[in-house]
Amino acid sequence: MSIKVAIIGSGNIGTDLMFKIMRRSRTLEMGAMVGIDPASDGLRRAASMGVPITSDGVQGLIEMPGFDEIEVVFDATSAGGHIANAAALAPFNKRLVDLTPAALGPFVIPAVNLEEHLDAPDINMVTCGGQATIPIVAAVSRVVPVPYAEIVASVASRSAGPGTRANIDEFTETTAHAIEQVGGAARGKAIIILNPADPPPIMRDTVYCLTGEVDHEKIRASITEMVAAVSQYVPGYRLKQDVQITPVEPETLASLLGKDAAGIRWKITTFLEVEGAADYLPAYAGNLDIMTSAALRVGELVAARDIIGV
């Protein structure tokens, strides 16, 4: 049994998600691919595979003959685009999965808190950096309080399209908030780097967590367990090297936390890399692949909960 879904946004992310749904999912069926550029590769590919298309944006979706059959709408446009799309779709009681940093609905990281929000009408997938790094912050915070966490996401410049570049500010703000709300850190900071190297490198992420006294082996075991959980739906997600746990330099504490630094003793550093599955995008675009893989996981579990009753 399957449910019909639509994707708004015929760019790289939306097209990759379409390929994943059509190749991998037994519970999701493509009901529509929506864009605004009739010449886009995503719309052309969708039409060639028999997926109904419209180049008239969300209004075109609403006017499509099969619109009533669509249960879930994935939005792969932009933060501003999602705000407009959510407003247009509000009267029709569709479930929304938001792959932009708009953050209208609850932040969801599948390996961390998906079960808490399966009934939400608008699920926000945070950002690519958030999907990659917040599980690590959560893995640390379930062992010991994390007063401060900082993430650095480095992605190939070629994998950052117009939507990503237009949303840099939203990326850093949304990711920082999610580090706190989902990851459990008292304070969070996010940085994104667009790497222009050629050949393009795969996505690499560094996660820093500051903590008080803690059992080092419990931390390493918790992180290893979390990496395994994420890799179940993002096969290219892995540790780059062993987790490092080192004493925190006093000057670092003073500059970051000031008077709030009391009791902090250790810096936990985790190095990650994310290789894409190359469904539509090149393998180096792990930053986009982790978003579409996470969204696919959300869509399938929403379908299982709402339609199949699992």
CATH code, domain carrying 186 = 3.30.360.10
Quick one: CA dihedral 209, 210, 214, 215, positive or negative?
A: positive
Is 163 annotated as contributing to ligand binding? yes
Give the model's pLDDT for residue 149.
97
Confirm if 117 and 106 have CB atoms less than 8 A apart: yes
Q: Are residues 248 and 172 in the same domain?
A: yes
Is the predicted pLDDT of residue 307 greater than 70, yes or no? no
**Separation of alpha carbons 147 and 44, rounded Å:** 49
Same domain, 118 and 133: no
11 in a known ligand binding site: yes
8-state DSSP, 249: P
Average pLDDT over residues 140-168: 91
Mark whether 273 and 158 lie in a shared domain: yes
Query: How far is 121 from 290, CA to CA, in rounded Å?
Result: 22
Establish whether 13 is an annotated binding residue: yes
160 labeled part of a ligand binding site: yes
Alpha-carbon distance values, 178 to 96, 100, 158, 186, 295 (Å):
19, 13, 26, 11, 16
Q: Would the annotation count 200 as a binding residue?
A: no
pLDDT(110) > 80: yes
Residues 88 and 135 in one domain: no
Query: Are residues 107 and 23 part of one domain?
Result: yes
Alpha helices in 90-215 (DSSP H): 110-113, 128-141, 162-166, 168-181
Same domain, 103 and 160: no
Give the pLDDT confidence of 55-102 residue by residue, as tens digits: 999 999 999 999 999 999 999 999 999 999 999 999 999 999 999 989
> Is 252 found in the same domain as 174?
yes
**Residues contacting residue 93 through CB under 8 Å, at least 6 positions apart:** none
* CB of 52 closer than 8 Å to CB of 66: yes
Q: Quote the number of domains for the chain.
A: 2
pLDDT, tens digit, 9 for 90 and up, residues 195-246? 999 999 999 999 999 999 999 999 999 999 999 999 999 999 999 999 999 9
Residue 224, domain extent: 128-284
Q: What is the reported pLDDT for 309?
A: 58
The answer to whether 209 is a known catalytic residue is no
The predicted-structure confidence for 252-288, as pLDDT tens digits, reads as follows: 776 777 766 778 899 999 999 999 999 999 999 999 9
pTM assigned to the model: 0.94
Residue 159 annotated as binding site: yes
Q: Say yes or no: 234 and 301 in one domain.
A: no
Place of tokens 């992605």: 155
Same domain, 240 and 294: no
Do residue 186 and residue 227 come from a single domain?
A: yes
pLDDT on residue 1: 81
Same domain (yes/no): 154, 277: yes
Percentage of residues of the chain with pLDDT beyond 70: 97
pLDDT (0 to 100) of residue 273: 98
Residues 145 and 280 in one domain: yes
Q: Which of 6, 28, 128, 285 is catalytic?
A: 128
Looking at residue 297, its pLDDT comes to 97
